[in-house]
Amino acid sequence: MVKLAIDVMGGDFAPQEILKGVNQAIAAYDDLELTLFGDKTIISQMVQSNPRLKIVHAPEKIDMGEKDPITVIRKNKQLSLVQALQAVRDQQCDGLVTAGPTQGVIVGAHLIVRRIRGMKRVALCPVLPLFGGKNRLLLDVGANTEIRPEHILQHAIFASVYYQETTKIKEPLVGLINIGTEPGKGREQEKEVFQLLTNSPHVHFYGNVEPKELLTTPCDILITDGFSGNLVMKTMEGTAKALGLALKEEIGRNLMGKIGYLFMKNNLKRFKARLSPDEVGGAVVFGVDGIIVKAHGSSNGYAFSRAIHQARLAILGNVIAIMKEKLVVEEDE
């Protein structure tokens, strides 16, 4: 059985939408056992009794705009997020899914679950929209704004293990985000990372990838530091939103546009779904000793159920244990 802790109180639309996602996931996957951390009264009203559901009363939550998550997490052990993370640390659960604040999740994962031995830095890794028949991983997108080349190599190894075990693609291609495709491009950091990835037996390295090729590259994994990755991700999200608005404006500009919309309505719905974060679940915190999936803060029930499925696949793929073996081999080399 896949045992997951669920932070019911985290998210913009918690606990209602989170519990809708729980209901959908528990109905869809009979190998799930979920421990729900949140307000017991509300949970009992919204979920049906099920032997694969356990409720832990934890009505307190960390604020989405909390400016000092370190102090809050250290001082308040009653928070739903803290109790859920502790369940992972105590090996009562294999992983956690939460839509709580990103920095709170990363800090909590560091302080409570802690890094895998030998893992020098964690990384936050979302899944990019489906283009060219594949979903690509992008990391790091904000866990580390400054990082050393050898740490980026570790992230590439972890991402390769994760992608391989959750998609069954044996040799996922890793691309290094850079300002040009030639090997000598970029800062000293990119040049060093390029050499490390080229020489690593644990990574199937493609080479440099320019950001304009983010959604068309043959790569399965795109890697960079947290500062650059965050800029790339937010630029992509903003561009997608602007394109959607522009398309809407053009459709409503005249009668022919409105008529055309009627014929293309289903196509446009599928196009919108491609760009929707609801389909991919959330971002995984790579590097800690448990599967931690950070669902979007604005997750609805369906999106949260997809995040649960994302965590489920990683646990079924035994990602953490395989990565630990890779780290031991890396230390011996």
HSE toward the beta carbon, residue 197, CA cutoff 13 A: 31
Same domain, 191 and 248: yes
Q: What is the pLDDT of residues 80-129, one digit of tens each?
A: 999 999 999 999 999 999 999 999 999 999 999 999 999 999 999 999 88
User: 276 burial class (0-12, 13-18, 19+ CB within 10 angstroms)?
Assistant: middle
Position 332 pLDDT exceeds 60: no
pLDDT band at 268 (very low <50, low <70, confident <90, very high): low
State the CB neighbour count (10 A cutoff) for residue 113. 24
Same domain, 212 and 259: yes
Please give the share of the chain, as a percent, with pLDDT higher than 70.
Answer: 93
Same domain, 208 and 260: yes
Domain count along the chain:
2
CATH code, 318 = 3.40.718.10
What the block records as the tokens of 120 is 């020098």
SS (H, E, C) 207-269: EEECHHHCCCCCCCEEECCHHHHHHHHHHHHHHHHHHHHHHHHHHCCCHHHHHHHHHHHHHHH
Contact 46, 322 (CB under 8 A): no
Q: Containing domain of residue 95, as a range?
A: 1-116+287-333
Same domain, 29 and 96: yes
Same domain, 310 and 221: no
Q: What whole-number distance in Å separates Cα of residue 231 and Cα of residue 234?
A: 5
pLDDT band at 271 (very low <50, low <70, confident <90, very high): low
Contact 258, 251 (CB under 8 A): yes
Q: What whole-number distance in Å separates Cα of residue 266 and Cα of residue 204?
A: 38
Q: What is the pLDDT of residues 137-184, one digit of tens each?
A: 999 998 888 899 999 999 999 999 999 999 989 999 999 999 999 988
Same domain, 31 and 64: yes
Same domain, 58 and 128: no
Q: What is the pLDDT of residues 217-261, one digit of tens each?
A: 999 999 999 999 999 988 888 877 887 788 778 777 787 767 766
Closest to 228 (Cα-Cα) out of 208, 213, 241, 211 = 211
